[in-house]
Structure 1
Amino acid sequence: MYKLFYYPRNASWAPHLVLAEMGVEFELILVDRKTNQQKSAEYLALNPTGRIPTLAHHDLVIFESAAICLYLCDKHPESGLIPGATSPLRATFYQWLFYLNSTIQPELMVYFYPQKHTAGESTKEISLAQELRVTEMFSLVDKALEGKDFLVGDSITVCDYFLFMLCHWASDFSHPPLDFKNLGAYLRKLAMRDVVKSVCKREGTDLAIYT
């Protein structure tokens, strides 16, 4: 059985959604950030980065959300959450997953933790600049979603759950993702999926903003 070490609405959210979408058996293990459990010796023995999430599967331990999702796709190709290896959509899938994981997500982390990135600027100035930067990135995604139900191809993939997670994190922006025409409609449709509802109920996440 898979064991996912998680905390609600953290970067473990995408792997949690992927596991639920695949319909495989898994155990959720709460890592309490309120008590800095992710920095405990026990957790660091599993994940030396001291961050969430971590996936344990038999003797294998993996950290980093995107890596966990790709591993799960490799183990369960029948899920269709990644295009086939010979499909031209495979490259598009990688493009968007890397953009979400290595471009948008790090910029969001600067927005949420400006105190780690100040070099004379106020934390407020950094957060405002980052909000504008990330909003521009969401604008690019909004254009890519025109006339589409999913980010890659005609069915849901890991990219959609990754994007849903990042967009939810940005819900408090002055121009949040839900305010974009295409992106907003897309997010509302995703929020209606049974998998999203069940995972959010389990994590205690309110989906009222999408109705």
Structure 2
Amino acid sequence: MRRLALMLLASGFVAGIFSAGSTTVAAEPDAAARAAVKLTAATWEDVQKIVAGARGKVVVLDVWSTACQPCMEEFPHLIKLQRNQPETVCISISVDYAGIRSKPPEYYRERVEIFLAEQKAEAVKNYLCSQPADELFEKIELDSIPAVYVYGRDGKLAQRFDNRTPAKPGSEGISYETQVVPLVEKLVKQR
């Protein structure tokens, strides 16, 4: 699992190199935009209690990190899903915390909040995982992120999308458009 954390850090580093060479630089969101996004520290168990508390609604839980370029590319689809399906509960949990003692979960708060503000993620319930990513991945048997968990109205996991459920044969990763959204739409219609 340490290898996974290093791969995530490396992908964030590579993404930073490519974006640094860009001629356009996105302005950092202002204080009001950042304040509009609520980010709460939580464990996986805390988030699972929130999922259980939303029984009767379809829940979409996105596991992501600012060090994961594919995560950040798919994240706007979570926001769009929340807008288009207001009867769903969309939750994001950032797994930026790597378990480094000198960099506790709060160390990552600013960069996570900036990303969430840029995405206008105030309609989504946003959490900063307080467990080290490697420990969490091992516990929930997750190989890599992004990962999306979709729960039905009964509160039970309907489908987990991750690198084991690629968007199309031979591809890697997940797709909100071809996988997550169609499932959510189907579950929302079921009463």
TM-score over 0.5 (shorter chain):
no
TM-score normalised by structure 1 residue count: 0.26
Bigger proportion of residues as helix: 1
| Structure number with larger C-alpha Rg | 1
Higher relative contact order (CA 8 A, sep 6+): 2
Bigger proportion of residues as strand: 2
